[in-house]
Amino acid sequence: MPTPHEALHTTFGYSDFRGRQAEVIDRVMAGAHTLAVMPTGAGKSLTYQIPALCRPGTGLVISPLIALMHDQVRSATAVGIRAAALTSADDNRDETLARFRAGELDLLYAAPERASTEGFRRLIDRVPLALIAIDEAHCVSEWGHDFRPDYRLLRGLVEAHPEIPRLALTATADRHTRADILAQLDIPDEGLILAGFDRPNIRYAISPRDGLPQQLKALVRDNPGPGIVYATSRDATERLAATLAEAGRPTRAYHAGLDPAVRARNQQAFVASEDMVMCATIAFGMGIDKPDVRFVAHAGLPKSIEAYYQETGRAGRDGDPAVAHLFWGADDFSRARRRIADEVGADRQEGERQRLNALGGLVETAGCRRAVLLRHFGEEPAERCGNCDNCLAPPASIDATEAARKLLSAAFRTEMRFGITHLADVLAGKVSDKIRQFGHDRLSVFGIADAAELKLIKPVARALLARDALRADEFGGLSFGPAARGILKGEVPVAIVKPPPARERKRGSDEE
Ligand code: ADP
Ligand code: ZN
């Protein structure tokens, strides 16, 4: 059996371990349980592949997606590792099991529900395992952004075999999620190995949507290499692909509604291309090995900071400069809050709200984006990174407390059911039919905003929605969130990034 260094040289052809790989591998070799949190591209696969080669027995790898398993089997086989997957999509399951029993496999990939069956557990009583690797381990936690109930079944497996070293791996886990993974998989606190989250070559930028097609075209023009644009719906991926083709670049769409053959073809074309723009839903990217992605754009709000970090992490894995640009609108927050209220179980709502508020903090900050991101993951970064939009061109921030209080009062006086346009009209003192019909011209807030304040109403509404001082119903009607009271009472100031001068654009063009 080779030593880890020998395996690194002979099997993989690498000269040194990177980052904290050696530490993780040392623990597994010593039989200890470990949770390794390492950013995408840090080389997590190696940390279980090498112990699988260097310890007696097969390495069992738990993975959430069949496509991911097949990718891993392919790349392991390519370097001469004996690997196989045991999934519903593999017809050679009997053969795989026979090889496993005969000790002829270095790595066996399986989904959590399969690995936790009674039958499989009995099998493990007889066939020695080198380790149990749990990939995408954040799936075990309800705090993680991708909770999979099946991962909870692993509990039985780890309890039945406490002697087999466990290695949980993830690229994204905040403090809560990490604690949860340790508890769920019974890994001691000192087993946590947390590699740095910083991706210094990625330049982060975040802007409100303001004519999205133009904004994206400009981004594509400024960044000649391959890029990914994440859209929020299947239709939007196809519309954006058509729009961005006008910028003179090859584009493709990718979403779960496409024929699998088309999807595979588009993915292959992207991986092979040096200038393609892929317009995709978040279904795209997991397990795709393309180190030279030069930009990742979001046409709408991602689900959480973790999801944002993982999605933007697909840019610049080769270490060369890359750009991550997020375009957001207030309606993104409204929609997300409604989704939480309507679709999320009562016990998880508070957590989801906190995650959304954290995202609000990231998009609203006038400070360093990287610092907000890294602090979210528990690091203590420098105040300024020098490589994000706010560091490169510090935005002037202005005090918008008065405008915010007037907007909140207007929402309150009109019984919290009108949208931003109407509220702005009320504050402006506009006499429209609708205003007369509701008698809003007789309210104390009618016409109380001056011209400067009126200009701030939209960005202020966006800021208040992002920090949960305002909530929008499905028709855009605005009501108070928990953060409204402090602002209204004058206890909490509202500073916003100074909006850029208004410019001409087609109406409705920022709806993607
Ligand atoms: P992750 O799963 O953490 O995103 P991967 O395991 O896919 O990362 O590894 C990313 C890339 O880095 C792969 O191409 C891998 O072969 C390479 N890599 C991993 N470890 C090393 C190393 N010690 N030296 C050089 N390249 C490495
Ligand atoms: Zn910065």
Q: Is 169 in the pocket of ligand 1 (CB under 6 A)?
A: no
What does residue 388 show for φ and ψ, rounded to 5 degrees? -140, 165
Q: How far apart are the first and last CA of the chain?
A: 55
List, for residues 289-337, the tens digit of each pLDDT value.
788 999 999 999 999 888 898 899 899 988 899 999 999 998 999 999 9
Q: Is 14 in the pocket of ligand 1 (CB under 6 A)?
A: yes
Task: Estimate to the nearest angstrom the gap between the alpha carbon of 72 and the chain centroid.
Answer: 22
DSSP conformational letter for 118: H
Element (H, E) at 221: helix 212-222
Partners of residue 170 on adjacent β-strands: 37
Distance 497 CA to ligand 2 centre (A): 15
* pLDDT, averaged across the chain: 91
List, for residues 478-498, the tens digit of each pLDDT value.
999 989 999 999 999 999 988
> Max CA-CA distance within the chain?
86
Under a CB-based contact definition with an 8 Å cutoff, are residues 409 and 445 in contact?
Answer: yes
Distance CA 327, CA 321 (A): 20
Atom of ligand 1 nearest to the CA of 39: 3
Side-chain half-sphere exposure of 269, counting CA atoms within 13 A: 17
Distance CA 241, CA 253 (A): 6
Distance CA 117, CA 344 (A): 29
DSSP conformational letter for 388: B
Identify which ligand lies nearest to the alpha carbon of 49: 1
Distance 12 CA to ligand 1 centre (A): 10
Distance CA 301, CA 497 (A): 18
Distance CA 308, CA 360 (A): 12
Under a CB-based contact definition with an 8 Å cutoff, are residues 490 and 309 in contact?
Answer: no
Distance CA 408, CA 122 (A): 63
Please tell me the predicted confidence (pLDDT) of residue 506.
43
Task: Estimate to the nearest angstrom the gap between the alpha carbon of 271 and the chain centroid.
Answer: 21
Site to substitute for ligand 1 among 6, 10, 14, most atoms within 8 A of C-beta: 14
Site to substitute for ligand 1 among 15, 16, 18, 73, most atoms within 8 A of C-beta: 18
Atom of ligand 1 nearest to the CA of 16: 23
Please classify residue 347 by burial: count the beta carbons closer than 10 Å to its beta carbon, then call 0-12 exposed, 13-18 middle and 19+ buried. Answer: exposed
- Given a cut of 60, is residue 508 above it in pLDDT? no
Distance 319 CA to ligand 1 centre (A): 12
Distance CA 165, CA 132 (A): 6
Q: Is 44 in the pocket of ligand 1 (CB under 6 A)?
A: yes
Which residue from 171, 180, 447 is spatially nearest to 311, judged by alpha carbons? 171
What does residue 497 show for φ and ψ, rounded to 5 degrees? -65, 130
Residues 422-444 have a mean pLDDT of: 96
Distance CA 131, CA 192 (A): 17
What is the secondary structure of 314-344 as a DSSP string?
TS-TTSS-EEEEEEE-HHHHHHHHHHHHHHS
Under a CB-based contact definition with an 8 Å cutoff, are residues 184 and 155 in contact?
Answer: yes
List, for residues 162-193, the tens digit of each pLDDT value.
999 999 999 888 888 999 999 999 999 999 99
pTM of the model: 0.68
List, for residues 83-134, the tens digit of each pLDDT value.
999 998 889 999 999 999 999 999 999 999 999 898 898 899 999 999 999 9
List, for residues 436-457, the tens digit of each pLDDT value.
999 999 999 999 999 999 999 9
Question: Whose Cα sits closest to atom 13 in ligand 1?
Answer: 43
List, for residues 341-400, the tens digit of each pLDDT value.
999 988 888 888 888 988 998 998 988 999 999 888 777 788 899 999 999 999 988 999
- Beta-strand ranges (E) seen in 160-201 are 166-170, 192-194
Strand 295-298, strand 227-230: pairing: parallel
Q: Is 48 in the pocket of ligand 1 (CB under 6 A)?
A: no
Which residue from 483, 2, 395, 341 is spatially nearest to 205, judged by alpha carbons? 395
Partners of residue 83 on adjacent β-strands: 107
Identify which ligand lies nearest to the alpha carbon of 372: 2
Identify which ligand lies nearest to the alpha carbon of 204: 2
Question: Whose Cα sits closest to atom 2 in ligand 1?
Answer: 44
Question: Whose Cα sits closest to atom 5 in ligand 1?
Answer: 43
List, for residues 20-38, the tens digit of each pLDDT value.
898 999 999 999 999 999 9
Interface ipTM: 0.96
Site to substitute for ligand 1 among 5, 9, 12, most atoms within 8 A of C-beta: 12
Please tell me the predicted confidence (pLDDT) of residue 503.
53
Q: Is 130 in the pocket of ligand 1 (CB under 6 A)?
A: no
